Amino acid sequence: MSAPALPLHGIRVLDLSRLAAGNMLTLQLADFGAEVIKVEAPGGDTLRDWTSDGQPLWWQIYARNKKSICLDLREGADVQSLLRLAESAQILVESFRHGALEKFGLGPDVLLERNPRLVIVRISGWGQTGPYARRPGFGTLVEAFSGFAEKNGFPDKPPALPNLGLADMIAGLAGVGAAMFALREVETNGGQGQVVDLSLLEPLLAVLGPDPAIFRRTGRLPRRMGNRAEIAAPRNAYPCADGRWLVMSGSTQRMAERIFEAIGRKELGADPRFATNAARLRNADALDTLIGGFVARRSLPDNLRHFAQWEVTVGPVLDVAQLLDDEHVRSRGCITDLPDAEGRPLPMHNVFPRLSRTPGSIRSLGPALGEHQDLVPPADSAD
């Protein structure tokens, strides 16, 4: 019996985006069977330039399962080619600066006239409306603007930006759902295509917690707390005797009580300083001293074994080498290998989420620039 078709088989996506957010979005669609055509300028997507020791690993992984064509959208003939391609597409993704698509003669009104059922996902830093719509909007600016950097890091250190494309990646993943919402409306309700206005700012705001509500109701601003949490204690990273680190989270009353029992201090559960979560938060320094002292006398493996006996929520801090060697990661296949052009295995994150009947798959690495140029309609095709 042949394998079921991938869930998005038959969906054509034109990806005009550059860098991380759009590529994360279309990566998900491609993994689940959509035909994703990267429409690149003659110089290629800037993601190709993000290299490690000269290796274009970002491109190979985040452009996997995609096809590449080159079009110069400053040229009228190439604009017409793009419009002809749009007639056969269900989704178009772009991340140009505000107004650039319109300058090319490819604004949503033009695209929807050619293909009324098209879903157009417009990715930008700040959104298509508002006073900041025309500002440049890389993820770094959004991570600072959103409040993330101000609350991230340790209280005696400067605000900390993430060392990964956090805003871009979250927006890309949010964009998958947005594109599917709009596509479902087209397919099931006989609807028309529409524009998805996807900013980097709003998905990041959505995952930062109820900070605006906390401020408006209490007057308190979020503060940098290092590895602690504002909502529950204990929660921290503790150094072990072997120089490695253990993380612990006591987010429920029963878990906090188990932690006290595990460190041989069951009586702390009745101590007014630690009897409730609110009390533990007020006395987090003293709590961390008690737990940290216990952890510091044992190696990480010994700590993990000990706390496992008490079913305490602890875990190790791993580097990438340790992650790749972890038995759970290997058993689940969280990281998988695909051979590169030289036949060398290239490890990358596996397809997620996991579907039981029609799972996605990785079929190819990021394509060479213009590798699928034959997909461009010939110049003499009827407009």
List active site positions: 168
How far apart are alpha carbons 38 and 369 in whole angstroms?
Answer: 9
Report CA 41 to chain centroid distance, whole Å.
25
Amino acid identity of residue 205, one-letter, is: L
How far apart are alpha carbons 121 and 93 in whole angstroms?
Answer: 5
- Name the token pair of 67: 């096809």
Rounded to 5°, the CA angle 274-277-280 comes to 40
- Name the token pair of 137: 């909007």
Kindly state the helix (H) or strand (E) to which residue 345 belongs, with its residue range: strand 345-349
Q: Which residues contact 35 (CB under 8 A, 6 or more apart)?
A: 11, 12, 13, 67
Question: Within the chain, how many helices (H) and strands (E) appear?
Answer: 16, 11
Q: Helix 19-31 and helix 166-188: axis angle, to 10°? A: 50
How far apart are alpha carbons 309 and 348 in whole angstroms?
Answer: 34
DSSP label of 5: P
Separation in Å, CA 278 to CA 211, 230, 231, 282, 289: 18, 10, 9, 6, 18
- Could you tell me which of 40, 207, 41, 14 has the C-alpha nearest to residue 121? 14
